[in-house]
């Protein structure tokens, strides 16, 4: 083992499936590429798991971080903060006019805030319906909302009031509603579950169902948001607006941030003392997020993401045609996609890609997940497609 691998084994609690001798130690990034300690270059089609939406070390984000860090790096939320207020204004104007935002440090915190607000809204209503195969975070309530037993099974007793319906099955959700139901929580595109895209009739049906039953509709846009699908938020592809929305990952451009966005009818549910965050809305992070938003909202940027998504889809579908005994299906929307395999060799392909200078992700035994930076070019996408093709050929 290298010195870094030895130190990691000695000092860091092991919660990630790193593999000594294979998993690179990354020390530098620029654009869509990263480099390890030995100087090896990798094309990053994982983007920090949808965090590095505008790539690594974007000059405008670096400038915003440095300027704010040299001015004021932290202030308690007891006080007003200019970067926090400015970011909130930009988010609301481009997301949910009339709404308001609560800032946290991560996606799971944003989900926790959404759960608390939905339970606070109507006394006696506390139940949350989420989807099977979903992923909403690892803090206790977010974990309980996650529709994958493998993440929950070792942490009983879990909070009460959570149930799981079948994704893209409106009747399955409707059957679980009773007079204690507070909200339905879903990902417009399931990420950790393997990239499953919501059907338009399902999304629209959920909105109508929640309106009819008087319950809140919560969208988890932590992975699918910030332009990843070709729209600023994935739900905008269907023209359906949630009551609450959790965002994180790409918003900070590499720095930790989370946010709960609430529609106008729900902005006064929390009162002072109901919820808080020491580091939420940190001025340095908010400055970085404003720079990220400015880039993504530049005219033509999201249209380009859409076109790149179509190019990536076409390239992966060509691989399916070339390797029909191994590659089964493309799933995705924009630059959030998966290649489903017919054999349990996802980990093998992932490892071959690392060896050949490409970073992707294996989800379970049969799914490869791709979440490239949105600034990637067609040529760079083709480079990644070619490396995946070589890995498929070797399996």
**CATH number, residue 329:** 3.90.1150.10
Quick one: average pLDDT of 61-67?
Answer: 99
- Residue 15, pLDDT score: 93
Instruction: Tell me the two tokens of residue 142.
Output: 């977010």
Provide the CATH number for the domain around residue 85.
Answer: 3.40.640.10
Q: Quick one: 275 and 311 in the same domain?
A: no
pLDDT of residue 264: 98
* Residues 217 and 123 grouped into a single domain: yes
Report, as an integer, the average pLDDT of 34-61: 98
Does 135 participate in catalysis according to the annotation?
yes
On the question of pLDDT at 385 being above 90, the answer is: yes
Same domain, 288 and 351: no
Mean pLDDT of the chain: 98
State mean pLDDT over 250-254: 97
Question: With the CA atoms of 315, 24, 340 and 174 taken in that order, what torsion angle do they form, in degrees rounded to the nearest 10?
Answer: -120
Same domain assignment for residues 115 and 246: yes
86 and 107 co-located in one domain: yes
Among 103, 126, 220, 243, the active-site one is 220
Q: What is the pLDDT of residues 113-126, one digit of tens each?
A: 999 999 999 999 99
Domain boundary among 256, 281, 296: 296
Per-residue confidence band for 155, with pLDDT thresholds at 50, 70 and 90: very high
Are 210 and 303 found together in one domain? no
Cβ–Cβ under 8 Å, residues 357 and 387: yes
DSSP states along 75-133: --TTS--HHHHHHHHHHHHHH-TT-EEEEESSHHHHHHHHHHHHHHHSTT--EEEEEBT
Specify whether 37 is located in the same domain as 146: no
Domain with 366, as residue range(s), is: 3-57+299-394
Note whether 278 and 323 are same-domain residues: no
**Residue-level pLDDT at 49:** 97
**Last residue in a domain, options 296, 312, 336:** 296
Catalytic residue, candidates 249, 270, 308, 352: 249
Alpha helix positions (H), 262-300: 283-296
* 45 and 165 co-located in one domain: no
- Tally of domains in the chain: 2
220 part of the active site: yes
- For the stretch 338-375, pLDDT in tens is 999 999 999 999 999 999 999 999 999 999 999 999 99
End residue of a domain, out of 280, 296, 312 = 296
- Residues 171-185 have a mean pLDDT of 99
pLDDT at 395: 85
Q: Are residues 363 and 219 part of one domain?
A: no
Indicate if the pLDDT at residue 1 is higher than 90: no
| Whole-number Cα distances in Å, 292 to 50, 65, 307 | 13, 11, 20
The residues pairing with 368 across neighbouring beta strands, listed in sequence order, are 339, 362
* Residue 298 pLDDT: 97
Give pLDDT, residue 142: 98
Together in a domain, 90 and 151? yes
Active site residue 352: no
Q: Which is the catalytic residue, given 102, 103, 126, 135? A: 135
Calculate mean pLDDT across residues 149-175.
98
Instruction: Tell me 31's DSSP state.
Output: B
Residues 186 and 285 in one domain: yes
């Amino acid at each position: 083992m290298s010195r870094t691998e030895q130190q990691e084994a000695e000092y860091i609690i092991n919660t990630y499936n790193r593999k000594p001798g294979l998993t690179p130690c990354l020390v530098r990034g620029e654009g869509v590429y990263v480099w390890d300690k030995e100087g090896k270059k990798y094309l990053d089609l994982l983007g920090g798991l949808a965090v590095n939406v505008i790539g690594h070390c974007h000059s405008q984000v670096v400038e915003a971080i440095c300027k704010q860090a040299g001015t004021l790096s932290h202030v308690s939320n007891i006080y007003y903060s200019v970067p926090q207020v400015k970011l909130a204004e930009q988010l609301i104007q481009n997301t949910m006019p009339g709404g308001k935002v609560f800032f946290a440090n991560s996606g799971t915190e944003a989900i926790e805030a959404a759960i608390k607000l939905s339970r606070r809204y109507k006394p006696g209503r506390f139940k949350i319906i989420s989807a099977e195969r979903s992923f909403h975070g690892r803090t206790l309530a977010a974990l309980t909302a996650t529709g994958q037993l493998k993440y929950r099974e070792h942490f009983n007793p879990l909070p009460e009031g959570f149930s799981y319906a079948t994704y893209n099955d409106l009747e399955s959700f409707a059957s679980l509603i009773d007079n204690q139901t507070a909200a339905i929580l879903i990902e417009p595109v399931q990420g950790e579950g393997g990239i499953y895209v919501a059907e338009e009739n399902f999304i629209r049906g959920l909105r109508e169902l929640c309106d009819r039953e008087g319950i809140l509709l919560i969208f988890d846009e932590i992975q699918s948001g910030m332009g990843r699908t070709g729209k600023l938020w994935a739900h905008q592809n269907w023209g359906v607006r949630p009551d609450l929305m959790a965002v994180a990952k790409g918003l900070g451009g590499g720095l930790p941030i989370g946010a709960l966005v609430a529609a106008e009818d729900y902005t006064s549910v929390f009162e002072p003392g109901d919820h808080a965050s020491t580091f939420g809305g940190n001025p340095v992070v908010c400055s970085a997020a404003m720079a990220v938003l400015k880039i993504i909202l530049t005219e033509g940027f999201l249209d380009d993401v859409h076109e790149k998504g179509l190019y990536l889809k076409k390239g992966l579908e060509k691989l399916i045609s070339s390797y029909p005994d191994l590659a089964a299906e493309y799933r995705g929307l924009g630059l959030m996609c998966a290649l489903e395999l017919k054999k349990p060799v996802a980990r093998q392909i992932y490892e071959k890609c690392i060896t050949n200078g490409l970073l992707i992700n294996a989800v379970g035994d049969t799914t490869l997940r791709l979440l490239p930076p949105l600034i990637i070019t067609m040529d760079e996408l083709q480079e990644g497609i070619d490396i995946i093709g070589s890995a498929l050929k070797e399996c």
